[in-house]
Amino acid sequence: MLLLQNDYDKLTFLEELQIEKRETKPYFQGIGVSRKMNTTLQHAQAAPLKKKGAFPLSLICLTIGAFAIGMTEFLVMGLLPNVAADLNVTISQAGQIITAYALGVAIGAPVLTMLTHSLPKKRLLILLMLIFILGNALSMIAPTYPLLVGARVLTALAHGTFLGVGSLIATYLVSPERRGSAVSIVLAGLTIANIIGVPIGTFIGQHFGWRASFGVITILGIFSLLGIMRFIPVIRGDKASSLAQEISSVLKPQVLLTLLFGLFGCASLFAMFTYISPVLQSISGFQENSVTWILVIFGIGVTIGNIIGGKLADWKQLPYLAINYAVLAIVLAALTVMLSNPILAVITIFLWGVAAFAILPGIQLRTMTLAGDAPMLTATANHSALNIGNALGAYTGGAAITLAGLHSLTWLAAGLATLGLIGVLLSFMLDRKVKLKAAQS
C-alpha cells in the first residue's frame, strides 16, 4: 500500500485504512494478465490522491510541463527563418534542428529511462525538468549553430521520459476508473501548446527575437518544476524494478504490437499534417493567412479528441481503439473529396484532429497496463515509437508528393491508419490467445 507524503498525510492514512479493507481487482482484465503483473496499478488503486470530483492540482503541474514540452517541440518550425538569419545558416540547415530534436526523443528517452529507472518517480521528474530547463536556457544563449543543435538534443532527452513518467504518476493520483482521463489531462498540455503556446511563442520570436521565445519556455519549465516539487506527492514504497524487468516488459509481444499500431497512428497524422499548408493552399484554394486559423480549428479538434480519448480509455481500451482507427481512416479517405470544397474541408479537418488524437490516451494507458510491475521503460518507449511514427509519416509523405503529388497524401494517411487498425485487431487476437493460455494453466 502506498502512503502519499504531503500536507494531508493524516487524512490520506485514514482513507487508506478504509480502502485497505475493501477487495481490489486488477484494473486490466480479460487478457490473462496475472495479479503479480498488475501490482503497480493495484498500488495506485489502493490509495488514489483523489477519489471523485475535481482532478488534483498535481495533475495541472504535469500538464504545465507537457505544455512547455509541446511549445519547445513545435515552436522552431515557425521561427526557422529567424534562426537561420541569426546564426548565418541556410533554412535547410536550420531545419536539422527539428530533426535533431526528434532523434533526441526517439533515442534518448529509452536510454535515459534505463539509466535513471532506479530513481523514485518524483525525484526523476525533478531531474527531467531540470534537464529541460537547462536545455532551453542553453538554446536561448547558444552563440553558434552546433551549440544550438546540442542544446536541442539535450532538451529532447527530457521529452519522452517526462511524458511517460508523468502519465504513470497521473494514474497514481486518481481513482481507478479515471486513469485514462488523468493521462489525457497530462497529454492535453501538448495539444493546448499547439493552439495557444506555439502561436504566442512565434509572435514573441518574430517581434523580440527567437531567443526570447526560448526564454519564455524556460520560465514555464521553472513554474512546472516548482509545482512538481510542491504538489507531486512522494510515494513511499515506490520500489524500482530491475533493468532486466523493464526490458522484459517492453519486449512483451502485446506491448510491441501496441507500440507498432501507435507508431502507424502518428505516421498517419504526420504524413498529412507535415504538408497541410501546401495542401490547403494548392488544393482547397486558401490564402496563406487563412491557414493559421484552420490550424487553430484543427488544434481545437485535437484537444477535444484527447479528452474524449481519455474518457473512452476508461471504458474499453481495444474496442474504442479499433473504432477510432476505423473512423480515422474513413475521415482521411473522405478528406480526398472534401478538400475541393473549402467549407467541407475545414469541417473534415476538425474531425480529423478529433480522431487523430483520441487514440493517444488509450495507447499510453494500454502500454503502461501491459507492462505490469515494470512500466517505466514501456511508458517512455511509447513516446519514442510515436516520434519514430512522426518521422516515418513526414518521410513517406514527401515521397508520395514526389511520386504522385499532393492529392496522394490523404490516401497515404488513410492507408497508414488502416495499418494501425490491423494492429489493433491483431492485438485482440493475441489478447484472446493469452487469456486462453492463462485459463488452461
Picking from 24-33, 183-192, 249-258, which range would have the lowest pLDDT averaged per residue?
24-33
Q: Tens digits of per-residue pLDDT, 124-150?
A: 999 999 999 999 999 999 999 999 999
> Cα(136)–Cα(211) distance, rounded to whole angstroms?
9
> Dihedral sign, CA of 197, 327, 378, 228?
positive
| Amino acid 25: pLDDT | 38
| Amino acid 236: pLDDT | 60
Taking alpha carbons only, the member of 173, 179, 170 closest to residue 310 is 179
Query: In the 8-state DSSP scheme, what is residue 436?
Result: H
More confident residue, 314 or 334: 334
| Percent of residues in the chain assigned helix, strand, coil, to nearest 5 | 80, 0, 15
| Amino acid 238: pLDDT | 60
Query: Is the pLDDT assigned to residue 168 strictly greater than 70?
Result: yes
Mean pLDDT of 415-434: 94
- Average per-residue pLDDT for the chain: 83
Taking alpha carbons only, the member of 227, 254, 422 closest to residue 325 is 422
| Amino acid 214: pLDDT | 96
| Amino acid 346: pLDDT | 96
Which of 4-13, 212-221, 376-385: highest mean pLDDT?
212-221
CATH 1.20.1250.20 fits 57-440, yes or no: yes
Query: Is the pLDDT assigned to residue 218 strictly greater than 70?
Result: yes
Query: In the 8-state DSSP scheme, what is residue 118?
Result: T
Picking from 54-63, 160-169, 180-189, 425-434, which range would have the lowest pLDDT averaged per residue?
54-63
CA neighbours closer than 13 Å in the CB half-sphere of residue 297: 14
Q: Tens digits of per-residue pLDDT, 77-106?
A: 778 788 989 999 887 788 778 878 888 888
| Amino acid 235: pLDDT | 67
* 101, three cell numbers: 530534436
Query: Is the pLDDT assigned to residue 389 strictly greater than 70?
Result: yes
| Amino acid 54: pLDDT | 55
* 140, three cell numbers: 536561448
Instruction: Look at phi and psi of residue 312 and say left if phi exceeds 0, alpha if psi is from -120 to 50, else beta.
Output: alpha
pLDDT-above-70 percentage for the chain: 86
Number of H helices and E strands in the chain, helices first, is 17, 2
Picking from 3-17, 257-271, 417-431, which range would have the lowest pLDDT averaged per residue?
3-17
Picking from 27-41, 94-108, 250-264, 289-303, which range would have the lowest pLDDT averaged per residue?
27-41
Picking from 51-60, 171-180, 321-330, 424-433, which range would have the lowest pLDDT averaged per residue?
51-60
Mean pLDDT of 238-249: 79
The total number of residues written for the chain in this structure: 441
Picking from 62-71, 285-294, 304-313, which range would have the lowest pLDDT averaged per residue?
285-294
Q: Tens digits of per-residue pLDDT, 26-85?
A: 333 333 333 333 433 334 333 444 445 556 788 899 999 999 999 998 888 778 788 989
Q: Tens digits of per-residue pLDDT, 326-356?
A: 999 999 999 999 999 999 999 999 999 999 9
For the chain, what are the domain ranges? 57-440
Cβ 299 vs Cβ 198: under 8 Å: no
Q: Strand, coil or helix: what is 5?
A: strand
* 360, three cell numbers: 493517444
| Amino acid 354: pLDDT | 96
Query: Is the pLDDT assigned to residue 13 strictly greater than 80?
Result: no
| Amino acid 139: pLDDT | 96
> Cα(384)–Cα(114) distance, rounded to whole angstroms?
13
Q: Which residue do the cell numbers 499500431 mark?
A: 261
pLDDT-above-90 percentage for the chain: 41
